[in-house]
Amino acid sequence: MTTAAVQANGPRRRPRDRKQQILVAARDLFAEHGYPSVTMAQIAERVGITAGALYRHFSNKAVMLEEVVNENFAVLHERNSFLDYTMAVDSAIARLADRPYLADFWAHELRYLAPEHAADIRRRMSAYSESFLPALQQRRSDLDPGQQRMVVWAMQSLLSGLGRRALHLPVATRLPIVRAALLALPEARLAPTGPEVVPRQSFLPVVSMRERLLQAAMEQFAQRGYQEATMASIAAMADVTGPNIYGYFASKADLLRAVTERGTHGLWLGLHQIFAEAASPEEAMRLLVVNYSELVGPWAIVLEEPSDEDDVQQARRSVQREYVAEWEALLQQCLPEVDAQTVRVRVQLALFLITDLRRMPSLRRRENFETNLVEVIMTILLDPVAPSA
C-alpha cells in the first residue's frame, strides 16, 4: 500500500474486541471437539487472523483454556440469595440460561487445567451449590444433610440441561421443562443418607487379558479423557506388557470401539429382560432406571467423551437414539397426557443426572445412594404436572 493510500484510509487497527473474539472462538471449538483436539491454528482460522496474531494475545492454548473457563464460570460468584425455593430456581435459570457451555466444560475440560485451578473451580461450584441450601431447607426441613447435598447437586445437573449440547433444542423450548423438573425435585421421597460405605476390594482378578484391557481402557478414558489416555497407560493399569496389548487391539480407537460396544450390549440385555418381566410400565420404568444406574459407571462418561473417530461417533449417536427412544416410549405409556417433547427432555435430563451424581464420590459412597438416586430420577420422570411455557 502506498503512503498516499495509508494517509487516505488510515492505518489498519485491530478490533477492540479481538481478544474476546478469540475467547469465543476457542470456547466454541473446545466445546465442539474437546480441548486436546483443537489447535491454535484452528482457533486463528475461526477468528480470521494469523497464528502469529493469535500469539500476541495468548502465549499458548493452556492459557487460553484458563481464561475461557474463568470467564464462563464467573457466574459462580453470584450465589443464591433467595430463601423461597421457586424464586431461587428462577434466579438461577435467569443467570445460567445464556451460558450454554458450563456443563460440558465441567464434565470434560476441567481435567486439562492446572490442578490448583481445577480445584479452585470445584470449590467455587461447591460453594455455589450450597448457597441453595437455605431455600431447600425452607421447602423440605425434614431432609438430613446428606439428602440436602444430593438435592442441591441434582439441581446443578438439571440446570446444566439449559445448555448441554446433547439436548438439540433451543433454550426457550427446554427452559420450561427444566424449570418444572427443578420444582418437582424437592418432592423426592428420600431414604436417610446412611453412613459412608467403604468400597469392597475385589480379590478375584479377571484371568482374561482382553477383559482386563477393556476395563482398564474404560477407566482411563473416563479419568483422563480419550485423547490423553495412551496404550501404554492402559496396558500398565491392566498389568499387561506393552507389546501384548496389540495382540488384542490394534489401536486406541479399536479399544474405544470395543468399550462402546460392551456397554451398549449390557444396556440392551438389561432392557429386554426388564420388558419381559415387569408387570406395568411404571415398574418397568423404575427397573430401567436401576439397571442403567448400575451399569453405566465410567462407561457413561466415556460415551460422552469427544472423539475424532467418525465411525465411533456415528455408532454412539445411533445407539443413543435407539436406546433413548425406548425410554421415551415407556415414559409416554406412564404419562399419556404429557406431550412427546416434554417426555424426550425429561428422559435426557434423567440420564444426565444419573451420570452426574455418580461422578461424585462423596455422594456415591453413602449407604443409600443408589436408592435415593432412583427416587430422584423417578420424581422427575413421573412428575404429573406438565410444564407451562
Give the lowest-confidence range in 3-12, 92-101, 113-122, 168-177: 3-12
Is the pLDDT score of 138 beyond 50?
A: yes
At residue 301, the pLDDT reads: 65
At residue 308, the pLDDT reads: 61
Cell numbers given for 110 = 476441567
- Amino acid identity of residue 305, one-letter, is E
* pLDDT confidence bin for 310, thresholds 50/70/90: low
pTM: 0.83
Which value, in Å, is the radius of gyration of the alpha carbons in the chain? 23
Summarised one tens digit per residue, pLDDT across range 259-307 is 888 888 888 999 999 999 999 999 999 999 999 988 876 666 666 665 6
Residue pair 135/83 in contact by the 8 Å Cβ criterion: yes
Residues in the chain: 389
| Residues forming CATH 1.10.357 domain(s) in the chain | 72-187
**For the chain, how far is it from start to end, CA to CA, in angstroms?**
57
CATH hierarchy code of domain 72-187:
1.10.357
At residue 14, the pLDDT reads: 55
- Number of alpha carbons in the 13 Å side-chain half-sphere of residue 1: 10
Residue pair 136/183 in contact by the 8 Å Cβ criterion: no
297 against 18, higher pLDDT? 18
Is the pLDDT score of 7 beyond 60?
A: no
| Residues forming CATH 1.10.10.60 domain(s) in the chain | 16-66
- Work out the percent of the chain whose per-residue pLDDT is above 70: 89
Instruction: Give the domain 16-66 fold.
Output: Arc Repressor Mutant, subunit A (1.10.10)
Q: How many angstroms separate the CA atoms of 353 and 182, rounded?
A: 12
As a whole number, the mean pLDDT across the chain is 86
Other residues' Cβ atoms within 10 Å of the Cβ of residue 363:
19
> Residue 185 gets which letter from DSSP?
G
Is the pLDDT score of 309 beyond 90?
A: no
For residue 196, the cross-strand partners are 366
Summarised one tens digit per residue, pLDDT across range 31-54 is 888 888 899 999 999 999 988 888
Is the pLDDT score of 223 beyond 70?
A: yes
Q: How many angstroms separate the CA atoms of 153 and 369, rounded?
A: 13
For residue 277, the cross-strand partners are none
